[in-house]
A and B are shown apart, each in its own frame.
Chain A
Amino acid sequence: MTDTILIDGEQVKITNPEKVLWPEVNIRKIDFIATMIKIGKYILPHAKDRLLTTIRYPDGVNGKSFYQKNIPDYAPDWVNHQQWNDINYIVLNKASTLAWLGNQAALELHTSFNVHQEPMSPTSLVFDLDPSEGQTFDQVVEVALIVYETLNSLGIEAWIKTSGATGLQIYIPTGNQYTYDQARKINQFFGMYFSEKYPNKITIERMVNKRGKKLYFDYLQMWHGKTITLVYSPRARKYASVSMPVAWDELKNGIKPEDFTLLNVEERLMKKGDLFAPLLEKKKIQSLKPILQFIKEKNI
Chain B
Amino acid sequence: MHTMWKGSVSFGLVNIPIKMFAATEDKQIKFRYLHDQCHTPVKYQKVCPTCNREITQEEIVKGFEYETGKFVIIKDEDLEGLQPAFSKAIEIIDFVDLVEIDPIYFDKTYYLSPQDTGGKAYNLLRQAMLDTGKIGIAQITIRSKQSLAALRVYKNLLVLETIFYPDEVRAVDLVPGVPENVQVDEKELTMAKQLVENLTAPFEPDKYKDDYREALREMINKKIEGEEFEVAPEAPQRNIIDLMQALQASIEQTETKPKPVEKKTRGRKKKTTAS
Q: Is B247 an interface residue (CB 8 A)?
A: yes
Contact of A211 with B by CB under 8 A = yes
Inter-chain CB contacts under 8 Å: number: 104
Question: Is A109 interfacial (CB-CB < 8 Å)?
Answer: no
Question: What 0/1 readout, one digit per residue, does chain A (7-26) give for beta carbons within 8 Å of chain B?
Answer: 00000000000000000000
Mark interface residues in B148-192 (1 if CB within 8 Å of A CB, else 0): 000000000000000000000000000000000000000000000
Q: Do residues A212 and B228 form an inter-chain contact, with CB atoms below 8 A? A: yes
**Chain A minimum-CB-distance residue to B238:** A196
User: Is the CB of A162 closer than 8 A to any CB of chain B?
Assistant: no
Are A196's CB and B233's CB within 8 A? yes
Q: Can you list, as one digit per residue, whether each of A76-89 has a CB less than 8 Å from chain B (1) or not (0)?
A: 00001110000000
For chain A, what secondary structure do more than half of its interface residues adopt (helix, strand, loop), or is it mixed?
loop
Please report which residues of chain A, range 199-225, place their CB below 8 angstroms from some CB of chain B when the two chains form the complex: 199-200, 203, 205, 209-214
In contact, A117 and B258 (Cβ under 8 angstroms):
no
In the assembled complex, the Cα of A291 lies from the Cα of B256 at a distance in Å of: 10
Do A193 and B240 touch across chains, with their CB atoms under 8 A apart?
yes
Kindly name the residue among B227, B233, B265 whose own CB sees the greatest number of chain A CB atoms within 10 A: B265
Partner-contacting stretch, out of A139-147, A249-257, A265-273, A281-289:
A281-289
Asked if A130 is at the interface (CB within 8 A of a chain B CB), the reply is no
Contacts of B266 in A (CB 8 A): 175, 282, 285
Interface residue A156 (Cβ < 8 Å from any Cβ of B):
yes
B contact residues around A118 at 8 Å (CB): 268-269
Cβ contacts under 8 Å, A200 to chain B:
230
- Would you call A28 an interface residue if the criterion is a C-beta within 8 Å of the partner chain's C-beta atoms? no
Contact of B275 (CB < 8 Å), options: A91, A150, A193, A289: A91
A70 at the interface (CB under 8 A from B): no
Shortest beta-carbon distance, A52 to chain B, in Å? 12
Chain B proximity of A236: nearest CB distance (Å): 27
Q: Which residues of A contact B233 (CB under 8 A)?
A: 196, 199
The reply on B254 being an interface residue by CB < 8 A is: yes
How many Å lie between the Cα of A209 and that of B257 in the bound state?
39
State which of B227, B241, B262, B265 has its C-beta within 8 Å of the C-beta of A193.
B241
Asked if A287 and B259 make an inter-chain contact with CB atoms under 8 angstroms apart, the answer reads yes
What residues on A are CB-neighbors of B83 within 8 Å?
Answer: none
Does the CB pair A290–B254 fall under 8 Å? yes
Looking across the interface, which residue of chain B has its beta carbon closest to that of A50? B272
| Total A residues in contact with B, Cβ cutoff 8 Å | 48
- Beta-carbon contacts of B213-257 to A below 8 Å, as 1s and 0s? 000000000000011101001000100110110111011101011
A282-B262 contact given A49-B272, A117-B271, A209-B226, CB 8 Å threshold: yes
In the bound complex, do residue B269 and residue A175 qualify as a contact, i.e. CB atoms below 8 Å apart? yes
CB atoms of A203 and B244 under 8 A apart? no
Interface status of A101 (Cβ within 8 A of chain B): no
Q: Considering only CB atoms, which chain B residue lies closest to A150 in the complex? A: B244
Contact across chains for A192 and B240 when beta carbons are under 8 A apart: yes
CB-CB under 8 A from A211, the residues of chain B are 226, 228
B-side contacts of A93, CB under 8 Å:
275
Q: Closest residue to A213 on the B side, CB-wise?
A: B227
Choose one: B227, B258, B272, B275; the contact of A286 (CB below 8 Å): B258
CB distance from A198 to the nearest CB of B (A): 10
Closest chain B CB from A256 CB (angstroms): 27
B250 contacts across to A, CB distance below 8 A: 290, 294
Tell me whether B205 is interfacial, beta carbon within 8 Å. no
Inter-subunit contact A177/B261 (CB<8 Å): yes
Cα–Cα, bound, A196→B275 (Å): 45
- A298 contacts the other chain (Cβ, under 8 Å)? yes
Do A212 and B244 touch (CB < 8 A)? no
Which residue on chain A has the smallest CB distance to residue B231? A199
B256 touches A287 (CB 8 A): yes
Shortest distance from the beta carbon of A79 to any chain B beta carbon, whole Å:
10
- The distance in angstroms between the C-alpha atoms of A82 and B274, with both chains bound, is 11
The answer to whether B251 touches A300, judged by C-beta atoms less than 8 angstroms apart, is: no
In the assembled complex, the CB of B118 is this many whole angstroms from the nearest CB of chain A, namely 54
Which residue in chain B gives the minimum CB-CB distance to A284? Answer: B260
Interface contact A283-B272, CB-CB below 8 Å: no
**Among candidates A115, A154, A196, A205, residue contacting B269 with C-beta atoms closer than 8 Å:** A115
CB distance from A88 to the nearest CB of B (A): 12
Minimum CB–CB distance from A124 to chain B (whole Å) comes to 12
| A65 on the B face (CB < 8 A) | no
Q: Nearest Cβ distance between residue A177 and chain B, in whole angstroms?
A: 6
Q: A298: shortest Cβ distance to chain B, in Å?
A: 6
Q: A118-B268, A155-B258, A290-B251 are in contact. Are A49 and B228 (CB under 8 A)?
A: no
Contact in complex: A212, B258 (CB < 8 Å): no
Q: Does B70 contact A (CB under 8 A)?
A: no
Cβ contact of B247, chosen from A192, A199, A203, A291, cutoff 8 A: A291
Q: Other than the known A48-B272, A175-B269, A282-B262, what 10 A-B pairs have Cβ atoms closer than 8 Å?
A: A81-B275, A116-B272, A118-B269, A154-B248, A175-B264, A177-B264, A196-B240, A286-B258, A287-B261, A290-B254
5 A-B pairs with C-beta separation under 8 A: A49-B272, A81-B275, A118-B269, A154-B247, A196-B240
Ranked nearest first, the 6 interchain pairs of A and B with the lowest CB-CB distance are A155-B257, A80-B275, A209-B226, A212-B228, A212-B227, A49-B272
User: Which residues of A are in contact with B by a Cβ distance under 8 Å?
Assistant: 48-49, 80-82, 91, 93, 115-118, 123, 150, 153-157, 175-177, 189, 192-193, 196-197, 199-200, 203, 205, 209-214, 282-287, 289-291, 294, 298, 300
